[in-house]
Amino acid sequence: MNHAKKISLSDRLILKNGTQIKNRIFKSAMSEQLGDKAHNPTQGLARLYAIWADGGTGLSMTGNVMIDRSALGEPKNVVLDNRSDKSLFQMWTDAGKKRDTELWVQLNHPGKQTPSFLTKTPVAPSAIPLGKGLDKVFNLPRELTEDDIWKIIKKFGESAGLAKAVGFSGVQIHGAHGYLVSQFLSPHHNRRADRWGGTLENRSRFVLEVYREMREAVGEDFPLGIKMNSADFMKSGFTTEDSVEVAKTLEEEGIDLIEISGGTYESPSMTGYKMKASTIKREAYFLEYAKQLKKQIEVPIVVTGGFRSGTAIQDALDSGVTDMIGLARPLAIEPDFPNKLLNDLETRSNLKNPTTGFAFIDKMTMLSITWYEYQLAKLATGKKVNPSQNAWSAVFQTLARLGVHGFLQRRA
């Protein structure tokens, strides 16, 4: 299903419900850690998204916003529920929608991927611990009951309805990276023997019911998307074949946009972990999967992960296998990178991997994530980022902001 004509980065994308996205640049979710003590958005968060709107992004996706304040993925997550301060969310959406920018909220439940200092007894499809040593910082989950499952589904719907009410222009289900939706889809993490587990049809039931509950809350004309794994990249996990089938089912249900990613905390492919050199050179981590998927569905696709140059971005669009280009870390350093790309496709983001020079410290402090969070925090306070920021400085600054808990396993 290749496009009949070449796509320009500046071309509008019109979704089937009539939503118009002004260009093909998609700001993918990043961990901002800018919620206040009550898990409401801060002025800094609004400032950050206004900067991205000014920078030329067509569609900005928020970092994961939680649907349940008793199930957080990180200490300073924003939560959107009936206890939220709606005026602070409206401040955020007003700022992020400047310059005709689409601002969608990514809604999430972490399942068992909630650190032990935040949740004593997390929940999951099955009582399976995280592997590869992660069980040291994530507690063994309790298996969800049927009643629990439906309560969580209802919460997704309630948060989606609130998202529309406070001014977000769309909602994305976080169905990737090993969080709860991803856990249900995975035969490794979901070993249930009831209608929520076993076959792919049963493992897909949770995300379908979440989508249906959201759709009921927001109506047919409001955009709903999903971020989903191309695969979990781990033995006995969610496969590429599974992913294609789930995408096809979601298309039948009416999903408006699908963002492609991959990996979990146990195998973090979304960060470039263990990627082939040829894939990294090509820049687009999940383009081969998108090529397979595009043959099967008509829903617009976003490919996120690895893009650094205008040349690779235009090549991906020219291939006809993606409709939007997802960018994350380049926008933490150059929030106006979209405008630069739109003006000159020879533009390149020269990101360097921050390091203290000690691999074990880099890993312990999750430097590949926290260094970028530090840059976002600077933007949020009106300061300029520092692409040459010393890694040790970022370590100490993040420790000061979040405490030692901030360095426990984190999302990308």
In this structure, the chain runs to a length of 412
* 165, 214, 122, 28: CA torsion to nearest 10: -70
| Contacts of 366 by beta carbon, 8 Å cutoff, 6+ apart | 407, 409, 410
Segment 198-220, tens digit of pLDDT: 999 999 999 999 999 999 999 99
> Does a structural domain hold residue 380?
no
Domain that holds residue 75: 13-350
> Does a structural domain hold residue 283?
yes
How many domains is the chain partitioned into structurally?
1
Q: What percent of the chain has pLDDT over 70?
A: 86
Q: How far apart are CA 24 and CA 173, in angstroms?
A: 20
> Does a structural domain hold residue 130?
yes
346, pLDDT greater than 90: yes
Confidence bin at 135 (pLDDT 50/70/90): low
User: Nearest-CA neighbor of 58 among 327, 319, 356, 403?
Assistant: 327
234, pLDDT greater than 90: no
Residue 222 tokens read as 């409001």
How many other C-beta atoms are found inside a 10 Å radius of the C-beta of residue 36?
15
* Mean pLDDT rounded to a whole number for the chain: 88
128 or 411: which leads in pLDDT: 128
Helix (H, G, I), strand (E, B) or coil at 406: helix
> Does a structural domain hold residue 395?
no
> Does a structural domain hold residue 116?
yes
User: Nearest-CA neighbor of 385 among 335, 326, 328?
Assistant: 335
CA terminus-to-terminus distance, the chain: 31
Confidence bin at 237 (pLDDT 50/70/90): low
> Does a structural domain hold residue 376?
no
Residue 87 tokens read as 């005026």
> Does a structural domain hold residue 397?
no
User: Nearest-CA neighbor of 223 among 181, 172, 158?
Assistant: 172
Q: For position 138, which CATH number holds?
A: 3.20.20.70
> Does a structural domain hold residue 59?
yes
Q: What's the pLDDT at 367?
A: 83
Residue with the two structure tokens 């933490």: 332
Q: What's the pLDDT at 279?
A: 43
Cβ–Cβ < 8 Å for 369, 38: no
Q: How far apart are CA 24 and CA 20, in angstroms?
A: 11
Phi and psi for 173 in degrees, rounded to 5? -80, 130
- What percent helix, strand, coil does the chain show, rounded to 5? 40, 15, 50
Segment 248-289, tens digit of pLDDT: 999 999 999 999 987 544 444 444 444 444 444 445 678 888
CA distances, 135 to each of 112, 139, 192, 270, 408 (Å): 10, 6, 21, 21, 12
State the alpha helices, DSSP H only, in 259-336: 277-282, 287-294, 310-318, 329-333
pTM, to two decimals: 0.90
Which residues does residue 174 pair with via DSSP β-bridges, in sequence order? 227
Phi and psi for 44 in degrees, rounded to 5? -65, -35
Segment 399-410, tens digit of pLDDT: 665 555 545 444
State the DSSP string of 114-131: S-TTT-SS-EESSS----
268 or 22: which leads in pLDDT: 22
Segment 303-318, tens digit of pLDDT: 998 899 999 999 999 9
User: Nearest-CA neighbor of 104 among 213, 206, 239, 214?
Assistant: 214
Residue 1 tokens read as 């299903």
